[in-house]
Amino acid sequence: MENIIQEGKRGLLRALTTPNDRTSEISTEHAEKGKVYYCPYCGIEMHLMHPHNSIPIFAKNPGKKHKNSVCKEIDEKGVYHSFAASKSPEELISSFCHTSSKRTGIPKGTDETPPIGKADNKNKPLDDSMKEKQFSSLAQIAKYDLEDFSPTETFGDYQMKDYVLYYRWFKYFFDSQHNPIPINARIVAARYYLCDKKENLLFFEAFSKNLETNSFETILFIVRVNPKSTFQKLLEKFMGYTMSDDGRSSYRKLHKFQDVFLASDSWELLSKSEFDTQTRNIKEYLKKEYIGVYIMDLTNTKQIYLFDPED
Ligand SMILES: [Zn+2]
């Protein structure tokens, strides 16, 4: 019994009433003791419990084991990263853009490897009790499958689409005349396209099929990286010399599909003329019509996360 109670201290703050139905998600205050609930991440059976000296949680039923990396982490470490733990999208995203001056002397070896460059750790010690925590890196957010979220899922005063621009949610980012709207502070999910080595620019695209017109709509995201040395280092994650089938080495994309998260607290919506200026060196490669073009300055490597590439 001791074991179960010990284990029960780790749990989730939200669970499903119907297996695999994200819309049936509820929080602990709306749950009843003795009823069966399901893990939102892997679907195993759970129940409501109120551990001594702790807040109510959804704990896994005896004999069940979480199967998804997100719920496993919650269960093992008691950490529950959530958008709900940040005050606003601006506050969360600013924390990725600007290096904090606060450095706490804490032991290393907690949750994840930084996406690129050197370790930029400000991991906090993990509490023993179940806690909802603010994301401290894009890597943590990347563990969650955006497909599982509804763009209108709410976190306090905000919705999922206020935090993330995902290709399936394009329609929320245009006004009634189909003009792109400012996105300001946002995490965007996009795919590497090309670079401009003269201007230290990286170009990313996100596409979505418009079911009304049956055509593809593409948004272009431009990332300006300074200084040059940082640009070069970052570029090596996307481009390099690889051998082609005929045995010749050439400079090209390292991976056919390299998806990323890009976070900026000040995405700028470009006008047609600004777009022409920014893309003057690579004009010939940009053949498509873009339905929106945004640009940001990368000041911190925490602003970019590379997913495992697909070849
Ligand atoms: Zn689970």
Per-residue pLDDT of the chain (311 residues; tens, 9 = 90+): 223 334 445 778 889 999 988 889 898 889 999 999 999 889 999 999 887 766 788 889 989 999 988 888 777 877 777 888 888 999 999 999 986 544 444 334 444 444 443 333 333 333 344 567 889 999 989 988 888 788 988 888 899 999 999 999 999 999 999 899 999 999 999 999 999 999 999 999 999 988 888 888 999 999 999 999 999 999 999 999 988 788 888 899 999 999 999 999 999 999 999 999 999 999 898 877 899 999 999 999 999 999 999 77
118 Cα–ligand 1 center, Å:
32
pLDDT for 100: 57
pLDDT for 308: 93
pLDDT for 7: 43
15 Cα–ligand 1 center, Å:
9
Tokens 């795919």 belong to which residue? 191
pLDDT for 212: 82
- Residues 6 or more apart in contact with residue 196 via CB below 8 angstroms: 203, 279, 281, 282
58 Cα–ligand 1 center, Å:
11
26 Cα–ligand 1 center, Å:
15
pLDDT for 131: 64
11 Cα–ligand 1 center, Å:
10
In the chain, the largest separation of any two C-alpha atoms, in whole Å, equals: 69
Query: Is there a contact between 255 and 240 (Cβ–Cβ < 8 Å)?
Result: no
75 Cα–ligand 1 center, Å:
8
136 Cα–ligand 1 center, Å:
22
9 Cα–ligand 1 center, Å:
15
43 Cα–ligand 1 center, Å:
6
